[in-house]
Structure 1
Amino acid sequence: MNYSLIQFDVRDGVARLTLNRPDKMNSFNADMHAEVRDALDSIQTNTAIRVLVITGAGRGFCAGQDLADAEVRFTPGDTPPDLGDVVERHYKPLVMRLSQLRVPTIAAVNGIAAGAGASLALACDMVVATQSASFVLPFANIGLIPDTGCSWHLPQRIGQARAMGLALTGKKLPAAQAAEWGMIWEAVEDAAFASSVDTLAAKLATMPTKALVRTRQAMQSAHTHMLDTHLSAEGEMMRELGHSADYVEGVSAFLEKRAPKFTGT
């Protein structure tokens, strides 16, 4: 697929997906969804990719759904479109692809992340934001609920009280406060943002990829498991990883007092 609404490139094991509708604050329409899906699918078959960075072009990360898009646009007095169908066809597949991706994911939030844009960031494994960035959940202002997995991810990260407050009021949350609350990994000075993201991505790209992904899966399933079930799930993951080439390399490097060279296998 030829991309026009995203940019996608791979270098040194790092895939960078840039939402590229800066004039619309990188808001989603149906065509951009299709391009993002295609890029994420390509990662699943490209073993050279070890980490994914998602960011936005211009001055914002993502403003969520483009309400002018034909799939959701309607004239007052007309019957509104079926938003449940939009979620099922676009936003649910987006979140599920990220949750099942074979590499760890970083959201590099370079500006406002609003609505489904904030939800997209939370669906990634780690979030790094500029100090000037902010997060806002404006769903209630137009009679909707936080979607794109936000009502699942957000309470887990910051607790029920804070999640409810953000969802009900639509209050803008500065990146620094989001970091203090544990909503994101860190907020960094704008001038240091690009280098901070590059350093983190480069580090993850050299780590044991399977172990990072299984860590994501273990943490995501923890709140739905009873303790004994979760301990068994941990055991199965440890059994698998204990037979991986990266585990052998990690132990060998430790014993030989050298830096490991992980291959993601």
Structure 2
Amino acid sequence: MRPTTGLSPRPADSAASVGVEIQDDGLARVTLRRGHAGNAIDLATARGLLAAARACERAAVRAVLLTGEGKSFCVGGDLREFSRLTGEALEKHLVAVTDALHDALRTFASIDAPMVAAVQGAVAGAGIGLAAAADVTLAADDVTFTAAYTSIGYSPDAGVSWQLPRLVGPKRAVEMLLTNRRVPAAEAATIGLVSRVVPSGELAAEAEGTARALRRGPTSAFGVTRRLVASGQTADLARHLDDEAAALAAAAASDEGREGVAAFLDKRAPDFTRIPSRP
């Protein structure tokens, strides 16, 4: 049984903190709505992200677009909320927050639909975890990243200590986590923390276009590819080659594979959207 917390939000609070809109064409928009607070993650936001992830899973969406309202994508945990508790109550509260947040990240990672994140302004703490969880992370040219955890005596969450070494390398990851130095947009792109940098005024349109392009793709093949890349970080080469072979054979025999090859031979664009996504 998970521990209870003294600060339990109502369902309406979670819905107000995180918006989810699933369109008929299979594109899901997940929006952090606490722009006035830098989209800091409180318990309501963590539970809102989990509800959004589960909604995307149930609807078998084709792509997810993650954004944050206001000047900053996400500044990390809501320290004002955390400071209202002490001792065992605080520990239980943080377990509740991270339980929901981590379940959301696990759910987004498990579905076939790729995720695009558009990040701007300050991205700190768990905000880095959200940005890193996306398959394509587009950054505005005004963005700055800082781990921030150890500056307040905390340790990482939101998969940050797992994602950072894989994205930027262990040495650079540890440096970022221990020194909490600010990493500007250009450096973030150079070290692999984000996919690419775009002018601030073009971020929304670029993210929208990228998500819509992925929505038209082979969702099941995307899911298999994402999982192969993730498992390849830890699997030995021999096992991974076997996994690739099995996955390729299954993909070739699938409706997506048949449509893709037929379109290639017919010299036309494939229409993967007519093939239902898997729930």
TM-score by length of 2: 0.88
Equivalent in the alignment of 1:64:
76
Q: Following TM superposition, where does structure 1 have runs of at least 4 consecutive aligned residues deviating by more than 4 angstroms?
A: none
Q: Secondary structure at the match of 2:239?
A: helix
Equivalent in the alignment of 1:231:
241
Residue 138 (structure 2) pairs with residue 125 (structure 1): no
Equivalent in the alignment of 2:5:
none
Q: CA deviation at 1:246?
A: 1.1
What is the CA–CA distance in structure 2 between the aligned matches of 1:91 and 1:199, rounded to whole Å?
A: 27
Code of the aligned partner of 1:54: L
Contact in 1 for aligned 2:19/2:52 (Cα 8 Å): no
What is the CA–CA distance in structure 2 between the aligned matches of 1:9 and 1:139, rounded to whole Å?
A: 31
Contact in 2 for aligned 1:136/1:166 (Cα 8 Å): yes
What is the CA–CA distance in structure 2 between the aligned matches of 1:112 and 1:244, rounded to whole Å?
A: 43
Residue 90 (structure 2) pairs with residue 81 (structure 1): yes
What is the CA–CA distance in structure 2 between the aligned matches of 1:178 and 1:73, rounded to whole Å?
A: 34
Q: Which runs of 5+ in 2 are unaligned?
A: 1-10
Equivalent in the alignment of 2:4:
none
What is the CA–CA distance in structure 2 between the aligned matches of 1:248 and 1:205, rounded to whole Å?
A: 19
Q: Which runs of 5+ in 1 are unaligned?
A: none
Deviates more, 1:205-214 or 1:89-98: 89-98
Once the two structures are aligned, what percentage of the paired residues are identical? 32
Q: CA deviation at 1:156?
A: 0.8
Equivalent in the alignment of 1:40:
53
Residue 240 (structure 2) pairs with residue 240 (structure 1): no
Contact in 1 for aligned 2:115/2:135 (Cα 8 Å): yes
What is the CA–CA distance in structure 1 between the aligned matches of 2:125 and 2:52, rounded to whole Å?
A: 22
Give the counterpart of 1:111 among 111, 117, 121.
121
Q: In the superposition, relative to structure 1, how do residues 50 and 149 fare at CA in structure 2: closer, same or farther (>3 Å)? A: same
Give the CA RMSD over aligned residues: 1.8
Write 1 or 2 for the structure with the bigger share of helix.
2
Residue 20 (structure 2) pairs with residue 4 (structure 1): no
Q: Secondary structure at the match of 2:73?
A: strand
TM-score by length of 1: 0.92
Give the counterpart of 2:42 among 15, 20, 29.
29
What is the CA–CA distance in structure 2 between the aligned matches of 1:8 and 1:260, rounded to whole Å?
A: 29
Q: CA deviation at 1:158?
A: 0.9
Q: Secondary structure at the match of 1:62?
A: coil
Q: CA deviation at 1:225?
A: 0.7
User: How many pairs align?
Assistant: 261
